[in-house]
Amino acid sequence: MALEPPKSRLRVDKLVPHVMAAMESLEDAGDKLSLPLDLLELVRVRVSQVNNCAFCVHAHHQAALDAGVSATKLAALPVWREAPFYDDRERAALEVGEALTNVNVESVGDDVWARAGEHFTEVELAELTWAVAIINVWNRIAGGARPWPVS
């Protein structure tokens, strides 16, 4: 039995266009980060998985492939801690991404920042923080209101 695709719930983009315009500006700013696109997309997919946002997982999975992330890395992303496919920098970025996403469960510890600091400059950590914050906002919009149909 085939499942019906999720239907749009609330067109927040059309109902509150000035906030949508601000989000699009924030997204545009996030596109100008100096971190490599493949790393950013890997983190965006993982954060979207953690947030159970099908729309964003779908969109960023394709973007990650287009940015050169291997299908193997994407397939193993839910179990990245146990998988051998990620380098230390990717692991640090994924750990920061998950920690910032799960602040409702546990605060981000100094140990997470210390490990990440071994692989990223302060500017890069700031950029990573912004990238995670932006995808978290999109996850909440797309996962909750589901303003656009997932296809």
| pLDDT of 4 over the 80 cut | no
pLDDT of residue 84: 97
Give the confidence band of 134 by pLDDT, cuts at 50, 70, 90. very high
pLDDT, tens only, 71-80: 999 999 999 9
pLDDT, tens only, 75-94: 999 999 999 999 999 999 99
pLDDT of residue 146: 79
3-class secondary-structure state, position 140: helix
pLDDT mean across residues, the chain: 93
Average pLDDT rounded to a whole number, residues 129-134: 98
Average pLDDT rounded to a whole number, residues 58-76: 97
- Can you identify the CATH homologous superfamily of domain 12-25+35-145? AhpD-like (1.20.1290.10)
pLDDT of residue 11: 86
pLDDT of residue 1: 63
CA distance 151 to 149: 6
CA distance 48 to 56: 6
- The vertex-147 CA angle with 143 and 149, nearest 5°, equals 90
Average pLDDT rounded to a whole number, residues 105-121: 95
Give the confidence band of 149 by pLDDT, cuts at 50, 70, 90. low
| pLDDT of 61 over the 70 cut | yes
